[in-house]
């Protein structure tokens, strides 16, 4: 995703419910929503964020990381979607991704369980939008219009893994 692709993507995602973007780490366990994505490489926290649909999940799980003195989102336990941004380095646009875990460990039952169907459906709605709006370029790889324009102007896109 080029910058314009990110803007289209986030506009769509925010229209799917009460969605906010939160950072991957925070100095407190109260993660503050991000309104505008930072420029790539502008800070330590420019690449990975979480999409939180408060219409689907009331809260999320965090864990304290003492060696780094910050809190981090626990994506395995939370009904959040990881959004890792694409970036350009040495005239190559490296891919981002969306990812979510749908299985949870039910500590009480000592067994595996599933996160809510509503969460899975929300993720699938977003994944379908990407497949519909972006061009398939390789195994599980899609490129937005801005990324394709970057390639047309001489930039490189990885074509599959």
Q: What is the pLDDT of residues 31-44, one digit of tens each?
A: 999 999 999 999 88
CA distance 79 to 52: 8
**Tokens standing for residue 127:** 């994944």
Is the residue at 160 inside a domain? no
Is the residue at 157 inside a domain? no
pTM for the predicted model, two decimal places: 0.93
Which of 41-45, 75-79, 156-160 is predicted most confidently? Answer: 75-79
* Domain containing residue 57: 3-152
Q: Are 61 and 78 in contact (CB under 8 A)?
A: yes
CA distance 27 to 7: 27
Neighbour-count burial for 118-135, b at 16+ CB within 10 Å, e otherwise: ebeebbeebeebbeeebe
- How many domains does the chain divide into? 1
């Amino acid at each position: 995703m080029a910058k314009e692709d990110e803007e289209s993507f986030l506009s769509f995602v925010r229209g799917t419910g009460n969605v906010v973007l939160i950072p991957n780490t925070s100095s407190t366990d109260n993660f503050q929503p991000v309104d505008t994505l930072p420029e790539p490489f502008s800070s330590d926290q420019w690449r990975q964020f979480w999409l939180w649909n408060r219409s689907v999940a009331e809260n999320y799980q965090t864990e304290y990381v003492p060696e780094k003195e910050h809190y981090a989102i626990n994506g395995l336990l939370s009904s959040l979607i990881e959004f890792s941004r694409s970036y350009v380095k040495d005239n190559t646009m490296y891919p981002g991704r969306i990812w979510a875990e749908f299985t949870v460990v039910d500590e009480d039952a000592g067994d595996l369980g599933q996160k809510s169907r509503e969460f899975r459906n929300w993720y699938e709605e977003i994944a379908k939008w990407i497949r519909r709006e972006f061009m398939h370029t390789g195994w599980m790889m899609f490129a937005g219009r801005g990324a394709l324009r970057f390639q047309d102007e001489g930039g490189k896109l990885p074509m599959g893994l």
